[in-house]
Amino acid sequence: MKSSPINVLIDEGRSAVGKPTGIGLQAINLHKHLKKYCNCKISNYEALKILPKGIRKFSMDALRNILALFQKYDIVHYQDNYATLFSGKSKRIVTVHDLGVFLFPETVPFIYVKYNQHSIKKVAQRADCIITPTEAIRREFLEMFPSTNPAKIVCINDGIRDVFWNYEGSKKVLIDKFKIQPYTYFFFLGSLSRRKNLKFTLESFIEAKSKNQIDKNTLMVLGGQKWWGAGDFKHLLRDDLGIKTLGYLNDDDIVTFYKYSKSFVFPSLYEGFGMPIIEAMSQNTPIIISNIPTSNELNLKHNNQMFCFELDDKASLIEKFVELDKNHSLIRENLNYGDISIYNFDNVAKEHFKIYCKVLEEAI
C-alpha cells in the first residue's frame, strides 16, 4: 500500500444537478465519512444544470473522459454504472447498483435502458474493481458477464445516513405540517415509478379498504417524485381513496414518517439493494417486502423479521396489510432486526477504504 495518503475522487454527477435520491445520497455520505481515512473529494457538475436534461448526461460523460486524462487521484470511484474510456494515472472503481436495465427493461425509458446497458458492459471491461451492494447483484453480474474475474467483484452494503441515528422524529411536524396522525398510515418511500410495483400495491390497498379488511381511516402515504410509469397509476393517487402523495421529502420528515407508520411498504419488482429497508429498520419499523432476491437477502440477514408477499399475489399482500393494520403496535414491540451497525456510514466508508488499499496494492 502507498505510504502517503491515498487520494480519492467520488464521482457521481446526479448529486450536484438535482435533488439527490438513492445513488446521490450514497455518494454524498460516502464522501463525508471517507474523509476520515483518506484525502477524498467529490465531483461537482453543478454547472451542467444550464443544459437541457436530455443532453446533460452525455455532456457529463464527455467531460468525465476529458478530466480522466489529467486527474492525479489514486482512485476514481464512479458511483453510477459508468467507467471512463481513459483512466490516466487513476484506478477505476465502479459501483454497479443493479442490473435492472437487463432484467426489467420495460420498467424504465428506452433510452435509459440502451445507455445503461452499454455503460455496464463497458464497466465489465474497464473497471479495476466492481462493487455491488448485495451478493444477489454480484451473482447476477457474474452470470451476465461470465468472463469477469470473480475476485474483481466485491460486495459492500449501502449505508444509513447520520440523521437516522441522531434524530428522533416529530409527532408535531407530522400533525401540523402534513395533517396526519401517528400510526394511521402505511408508508412508501422511493420514486413513484413502474419498477416500484405501485399500481399493484395501491390497487391491493384500496381493495382491502373497500372490503373493510383494514380500518377505513388508514392511509397510504407516498414519499418521492413521479418518474417513468407513474401514468400507470395516476388515477389511483386520490385523497378520497386514502392515498396521500407528498413528493420529495427532507430527511427529518422521512425519519418521522418511518417512526410513526403502521408499516413501511417496499413492494418493488426489482432492486439492487433497498436503502429504505435499512432506514426503516433503524426506526424499528415493521416492513412489508416483495419476495425479490435483494429484499430476501436483507430479510435473511436480519432474523426474517419482515413481512414478505409473493409478487402478483394480491391476496398475499392484502394479508400483510390486514395483519399490520391490526397488530402493528405489538409487532413493533417484538421486532428484532439484530445488529444494524454495519450500515453506519463510518463502517461503510472503512470497507470502501480497505478495497481502495487492496486495489492499489495489487497494482504495485
Give pLDDT tens digits for 262-296: 999 999 999 999 999 999 999 999 999 999 999 99
pLDDT for residue 3: 47
Confidence at residue 103, expressed as pLDDT on a 0 to 100 scale: 97
Q: Which domain holds residue 95?
A: 7-159+344-363
Are 99 and 26 contained in the same domain?
A: yes
Using pLDDT thresholds of 50, 70 and 90, give the confidence band for residue 126. very high
**Per-residue confidence (pLDDT) for residue 46, from 0 to 100:** 80
pLDDT at residue 19 in the model: 73
Fill in the DSSP letter of residue 5. Answer: P
203 falls within a domain: yes
Same domain, 273 and 167: yes
**Considering its fold, how many domains does the chain have in total?**
2
Neighbours of 146 (CB within 10 A): 9
Enter the C-alpha cell of residue 230. Answer: 407513474
pLDDT band (50, 70, 90) for residue 1: very low
Answer whether residue 2 is part of any domain. Answer: no
pLDDT digits (tens, 9 = 90+) for 309-351: 999 999 999 999 999 999 999 999 999 999 999 999 999 999 9
Q: Are residues 167 and 154 in the same domain?
A: no
* 103 and 270 Cβ atoms separated by less than 8 Å: yes
pLDDT for 292 equals 98
Closest CA to 341 of 281, 251, 253: 281
- Give pLDDT, residue 364: 56
- Statement: residue 2 has pLDDT above 70: no
214 and 241 housed in the same domain: yes
Residues 65 and 185 in one domain: no
133 is written with which cell numbers? 451492494
pLDDT of residue 304 exceeding 80, the answer is: yes
Instruction: Note whether residue 1 is domain-resident.
Output: no
Q: What is each CA distance from 208 to 136, 211, 242, 288, in whole angstroms?
A: 32, 5, 11, 15
| Residue 108 shares a structural domain with residue 196 | no
Residue 130 is assigned to a structural domain of this protein: yes
Where are the alpha helices (H) located in 127-221, listed in sequence order? 135-144, 163-166, 171-178, 198-210
Shared-domain flag, residues 114 and 206: no
pLDDT tens, position by position, 191-203? 999 999 999 999 9
267 assigned to some structural domain: yes
Residue-level pLDDT at 50: 82
361 class by beta-carbon count within 10 Å (0-12 exposed, 13-18 middle, 19+ buried): exposed
Task: Give the bridge partners for 309, in sequence order.
Answer: 290
Residues 294 and 179 in one domain: yes
CB contact set of 291 (below 8 Å; sequence gap of 6+): 308, 309, 310, 311
What is the CATH number for 332? Answer: 3.40.50.2000
Tell me: do 178 and 321 sit in the same domain.
yes
> Is the sign of the CA dihedral 136, 83, 21, 196 positive or negative?
negative
What's the pLDDT band for 242 if we cut at 50, 70, 90? very high
Both 190 and 300 in one domain: the answer is yes
In a domain, 111, yes or no: yes
Pair (134, 183) in one structural domain: no
Radius of gyration of the chain (CA): 21
Residue 273 included in any domain: yes
Looking at the structure, do residues 103 and 216 belong to the same domain, yes or no? Answer: no
The whole-model pTM stands at: 0.93
In a domain, 254, yes or no: yes
